[in-house]
Structure 1
Amino acid sequence: MKCVINVFLLLFFFCSYALSSNVSKYEIEIDKFPVDYSSFIESIRVGGLGDAEFSSEIIEVDKNIIKVAIHFDLKGKIIRQDDWQVQIKPKFKPIFNWAPHLTPSDNHIIAQHVFRTPALIAVNQQQGIVIIPDLDILANAGKNKWYMDMDAGKNIFLLGMSESRISDHVLYERCPGAIYDRNVEFGFYIIKYEEKEELENPFRCPLKFMWNRWGHDLFIRSLPLNLEPYVKYTYDWAFNNWKNSVWQEFVIDGRKVGAPVFIVNTTQSPNYPGEVNEREFRSIWNQAWFSSLRSASGLFRYAKRTANKDLLEKAILTKELALSFPQKNGFFYGLIGTEMYEEKLNGKKYNRSKGWDVYFWGNSNRNPYTWDAKQSPFHILDMSWTALLMLRWYDELEKDERLLSYAESYGRALLGVQYDNGYFPGWLDVNTLQPMEYLNDSPETSLSVTFLLKLYEITGKEEYRAAALKGMEAVKEVITEGRWEDFETYWSCCRIGTPQWVGKKVVRNNMYKQCNFSMFWTTEALLECYHTTGSSEYLKLGQRVLDEMLMTQASWQPPYIYVNGVGGFGVMNADGEWNDSRGSLFSEIILQYGKLLNVSEYMERGVCALKTSFEMMYCPQNLDAKRQWEKVWPFFDERDYGFTMENYGHGGSSSPEGDGMGEFTIYDWGNGAASEAYNRILDKFGKQIFE
């Protein structure tokens, strides 16, 4: 009993308790800033941390940037406090807000896990501010977890510290349990701007600042880059070591075709000691994510460069498969799949394929209508992407007239469904070919713009150019609103807000649920419009969209991300990925803008995006990732080199024990896609960009 009382007394004496933040305890005086912020910020209020002694310092970084440094001296005490925060209130009313993650309620926060290029942005037509956490201090914060938040309705920015829990897929909510057992440092930067050019593109200043401060040095340390071993691992994995699971070869209407399968998992490793259990129905896709034709074009380039006849044949077999997809009045299917069945072994169920003798044509089941690929509607986006890849193959690799004919047949059909307002429909009923309910005014239209401009470039037919520019004009309203809605935003793994948020802003944040996929299609379409017309308006708008997309790219390396992450991409403002496979797809357009605008930051970011698309590969070059893989899948060995998860930390968390690693590889959205991007960029930019 005496021992218990002593422990209680010690805790009472040495610990200070507070259940929530006290945001009115301290106020930082704006009029004493070394730079005039009086017309930008109304107040900065700092909560108390128990009874710790508070001090602050304001540092001028340049004429438009200040740093606020905060210090709490705990004097050897332990403080338990569930939430601590700083509240920053702008003095102006914004018309545009941006944050990296959604916080639809007062209990939601932007947890540090999604601090890729962390910033809070507010602008109107006259002025704007950006709040950026001091990532140098965060890197040394230890177990104290940082967060951000943006209450646009109250016009308040928040920065703070709290434990959090993951809710939905993926949002974060405050939860109790934060403990402070050493002196606390906290800090953030405030950027102000009022120049017209800065207000029209509010992302350029924070991107440049963060890359110069953190990303650039990390990039320089990585040079020179040798990505060739990763490409070799990829093709050895797919066509040798894992060939029995990955490579699919069969006959359609007397024509031999082939391609790597859509997805494989760790049970299909040659080293796995148990029974194979296929994750999804065995299939091959030509869709906006998973494009066998895209991967095959990279394999074609590699096979030509290395004079590898076997790989060249496989690339051509995949092209033949794409040309085998039947067209219906010009429209065509997005995948071919096999019938599946369940087999029971020792009381357990295993997913099995009936083989390619029993196949069906279908479309992506990532849609609003059905999970059944056989019943899924035609997706305009998927068809425009595949048709664009056919044109690029025809233009850059080999003049196979069947590719042009197939793509133009689709192009004529596409013109027939364009709306008067310029948009293209989202989905078409597979039987009636009539437009369906969702995404009929979305930035998915941008991909059709790029396709039609390529078709115009090859054929010279003015109707394709006119339709493309009309479509681009429609998408301009999306850009100013930040309405980056596409199929992945709502009908992938992240279903929060489906369908109630479609076409509507999350009121508390004054933002739409956003996905960077549609930003990519739009920045590419705007660049093609610039090349076609010569109008600098398209280039200027394209750079703004590019920069918004780059806000989803990591500009630093957090200590709590246990793989190399700088330059890697997330996906949307309601998900948790790092190093997503889309980085390989995005890398060339970043490089194109960098070369055209002579911006070295873009060149560095583009190369980093490509590099990080290989970071999740299991191989000796990726020591950090390799250790993580072996903690989760200890049977992996050199026969698994090349296995590549599509991203890291997808579920919203990570740990040194392997949390954040996955269990599958999608060749066409992983190692095969990354290899395609490398081979394409190597052909177009040369080896010098990696040196």
Structure 2
Amino acid sequence: MPSSMRTAIIFSSLILSTFPLCAVNRLESAGGAIRIEVDTTNPAQNEVVSIKEDGVWVPALLSTASPTRVISEGTPDVVHSCTIKEISAIPSGLLLREDCSVGSLEERVLLTSEPDVLAVEARFTPKASIKIRSVEDRYDFAPGRRASSSLTSGLVDFVWSQNIKNEADDIVPNWSFKSPAVMLQQGKVFTALMPELSDRHSDPLALDLDVTSDKLPWLSYGAVASQPYGHSYFRRSPDAGPRVVAGEIEYRYSIVASEQPYKLGYRRVVRRLWSHEGHKELLQSNDLQQNVTRPELVTFDDWRTDTWVRYANTVYRGFDCGNQRCGTLVSNRNSEGDWGKPAPDAWFNAWFQTLRSAYGWYLYGQRSNNKDIEEKAESILNLALKSPQDHGAFPTVYMLNTKQWIRDDGWAGYADDYHTFCMSWTAYWMLQWGKNLTPNREKEILAFVRPYGDFLVKHQLSSGVIPSWYDSNLEPRSEFRDFNAETAASALLLASLGEATGDHTYANAAEQAMNFITKEVLPRQRWFDFETFKSCARKPFDFYDAWTAQYPQNNLATIQAAKAYLQLYQVTKNREYLQQGTQVLDYLLLTQQVWNNPAFSPKVVGGFTTQNTDAEWSDARQGYAAVLLWDYYKATDNQEYLERAVAAARSTFAVAPWENWAHTGYLDEQGALTGFHWGPGSALTSVEMMSPTLGDAFINLKEKQGVGFNACSLRNITVIGHSITFDLETFPSSRSIKLRFSGVDPHTKYKITWNGSHSSMVDGSTLARDGYVVQQ
């Protein structure tokens, strides 16, 4: 056959019962990849070929039938499968012309610079007077599924979609494109569909995925209109259709098809999402901190004045408690956790963690040499330490008017029960106060935390799980007794307590708890915490998506698990914990937004959504995730984690004071105003923790990388010897910027050049101690 009629497609594994690649006439292993040479002269032939998996050649079906399905209006609506009429070679790929009976389709299937990625461009032209419901490309997953599954072994080894299904017709619409992809993996065989985010954002587009309904699992992407229902699901619209522009319906996407480590193919997608989308969006967002309703707030100093001086003092309540002064930054929620009857309160909760916000407030007091703020912040620690303990367990909500302690949030928990998630997160922050802010009180803090640690050790089950809720007799509630992912929060506390006391009992219990997470939670990603079932996206504890074979999951527990793995690594020096932690962190990052969706008023890059049965953008938990990513950057020097940490830390300010944006997923409006802590308080606490090292902008000289942190962007960083050059863009443009560095040699001088024309010589010891101020 003439070489001009032969097109080479390279996959790391061949995994799809795929779109027409024509007849395969050659298959060979090429450096871990598989090379497929396609004969474009014979498009009608089906071939059974083989792929190599774990050293064994196994059969896989290559189908040359088109994957495109068109649904037109009818009673009922009619499904049309397209038929290939012509295939021709074009530069870097194939051009397919297809007949779909109600229109014609042209698809370009293109090679890319990535050996395991194909780019697909689809253009459908409907016939006149035909109303089209959807046009989408659906691919069967050739490795298939297992005949049965268990709690630790699924029908496929890995499956992911941002939204799971409540009904068979549910989809993942463009309103859910935070880190958009659908993924399947069986063994080492991995595939993903990834939308092209530069497509017209207002077009109705959707991903879909199904594991169980047909002979083979499948995934799809295309022009599909959606309809929201419930809280918060989207189904295929029975009335609307795709947007037709100049007589055509268009969409673009990528196919990732690779041999990947067992169950870890999603990490390939996470890396690609940031390198292709998030990195450039962050560089273009030097104004990310600018608030959508108060545009005068831009820099961290603007936010410090507004949050720590104005807002915090407005919601602070101080009162005498014995021979001490106690205090709180109130959320004004009632004892049942809602806002119907607001009352001054103190919440030491997984969400509204007053002690964490007070930690940031204290740091600001130190930074500004404001002793009054330091004393007010420490009064919140005083109150937390006054919580009455029962064999170590303690209530986490205090109502000022009634002087009453309540054990748990009565809205998303059980008010009469002790809740380990909230107790462990509070005790963890007590230890942070003693370690970093008030070492003179460490003995007092340990006197409170150790009995609680003993409580956890006593009630830990042989599996490693730590039950979540305990009644007044300290008997565990059946819900979340034998299985929960909240165990990770207690593991974090126990590992930290073991480090603080040197008592291996706590560290051993932490390891046992995280072994439970490793063995029982990770295999099917069952991230069950209280918010998964009892918050606004309520559902039965046995909820399961039988179509995509996924469980509901919430990322509060995922954040705590990644934190606990890292803490165990730091305590034990066992690198397996670091490796496991980065895998969990990368899974968490599938819920981080990698672009500024133009459908929304604020910039949302770097923000986090919450779970796979809710739909909000830029939820305040991103403040927690920012410090987590920052800690992993310090442990790994992974530049992506640094950039993601910065994007997460800045993202809350764009939507503050609300806890999130577009709670429904699709309306351009603010979310709920749940108080100081789940908004600017938590966000600015993260900034206070990161700022001493990052300054306004940061360069790691060893890694020759850096990032703009405070309303600025850093580009084109070059480090050659002791010469440092970079481009800096600030918002507003006239600001001076404090640049911080790591990896500085204090015994030499550095030449610093920025924006191509400014330069100066700086002594290394000065650079390490004081950084460098760039005067614009």
TM over 0.5, shorter chain:
yes
Partner of 2:235: 173
SS in 1 for 2:655: coil
1:47 to 59, 65, 69: 69
CA deviations over 1:374-402 (Å, ceiling 9, x no partner) = xx200011111111101111001112132
Q: How does 1:454-469 map to 2 (within 5 A)?
A: 454-469=496-511
1:590 aligns with 2:634: no
1:191 aligns with 2:244: no
1:426 to 468, 473, 479: 468
Q: Which letter maps to 1:417?
A: H
Q: How does 1:447-526 map to 2 (within 5 A)?
A: 447-477=489-519, 478-496=521-539, 498-501=540-543, 505-526=544-565
Contact 1:581–1:674 under 8 Å retained in 2: yes
Q: Which letter maps to 2:659?
A: E
Partner of 1:64: 116
Contact 1:527–1:542 under 8 Å retained in 2: yes
Contact 1:366–1:488 under 8 Å retained in 2: no
1:28 to 14, 19, 23: 19
Q: CA deviation at 1:180?
A: 3.4
CA distance in 1, matches of 2:201, 2:611: 26
Q: CA deviation at 1:308?
A: 1.3
CA distance in 2, matches of 1:665, 1:500: 29
SS in 1 for 2:225: strand
1:570 aligns with 2:621: no
Gap change, CA 1:264 and 1:74, over 3 Å in 2: same
Gap change, CA 1:681 and 1:56, over 3 Å in 2: same
Contact 1:66–1:189 under 8 Å retained in 2: yes
Q: CA deviation at 1:73?
A: 3.2
Aligned pair count?
588
How many percent identity over aligned positions? Answer: 26
SS in 2 for 1:614: helix
Higher strand share: 2
CA distance in 1, matches of 2:207, 2:343: 40
| Structure 1: gaps (5+ residues) | 1-26, 266-276, 339-355, 618-643
CA deviations over 1:7-55 (Å, ceiling 9, x no partner) = xxxxxxxxxxxxxxxxxxxx93034799649757855511237633310
Partner of 1:293: 355
Gap change, CA 1:42 and 1:359, over 3 Å in 2: farther
Partner of 1:219: 282
1:314 aligns with 2:379: no
SS in 1 for 2:405: strand
Partner of 1:652: 665
CA distance in 2, matches of 1:41, 1:461: 57
Contact 1:263–1:664 under 8 Å retained in 2: no
1:152 to 207, 211, 231: 211
Q: Which letter maps to 1:510?
A: A
Higher helix share: 1
Contact 2:225–2:242 under 8 Å retained in 1: no
Q: Which letter maps to 1:211?
A: W
Q: How does 1:209-288 map to 2 (within 5 A)?
A: 209-223=272-286, 226-240=299-313, 243=314, 246-253=315-322, 255-263=324-332, 280-288=342-350
CA distance in 2, matches of 1:464, 1:295: 26
1:674 to 667, 683, 689: 683
Contact 2:206–2:225 under 8 Å retained in 1: no
SS in 2 for 1:130: strand
Q: CA deviation at 1:510?
A: 1.3
Instruction: Give the TM-score normalised by the residue count of structure 1.
Output: 0.81
CA distance in 2, matches of 1:559, 1:687: 27
CA distance in 2, matches of 1:178, 1:104: 22
Q: Which letter maps to 2:652?
A: S
Q: Which letter maps to 1:72?
A: F
SS in 1 for 2:257: strand
SS in 2 for 1:66: strand
CA deviations over 1:293-343 (Å, ceiling 9, x no partner) = 1100100011001011221121011111111111111110010125xxxxx
CA distance in 1, matches of 2:436, 2:603: 33
2:437 to 382, 397, 400: 397
Q: CA deviation at 1:537?
A: 1.6
Contact 1:41–1:88 under 8 Å retained in 2: no
Contact 2:204–2:242 under 8 Å retained in 1: no
Higher relative contact order, structure no. (Cα contacts within 8 Å, ≥ 6 residues apart): 1
Q: CA deviation at 1:252?
A: 3.3
Contact 2:107–2:120 under 8 Å retained in 1: yes
1:379 aligns with 2:419: yes
| Structure 2: gaps (5+ residues) | 1-17, 25-33, 38-48, 52-59, 73-101, 145-155, 290-298, 699-708, 715-776
CA distance in 1, matches of 2:516, 2:465: 6
CA distance in 2, matches of 1:527, 1:42: 43
Q: CA deviation at 1:533?
A: 2.0
1:542 to 575, 581, 605: 581
Q: CA RMSD in A?
A: 2.5
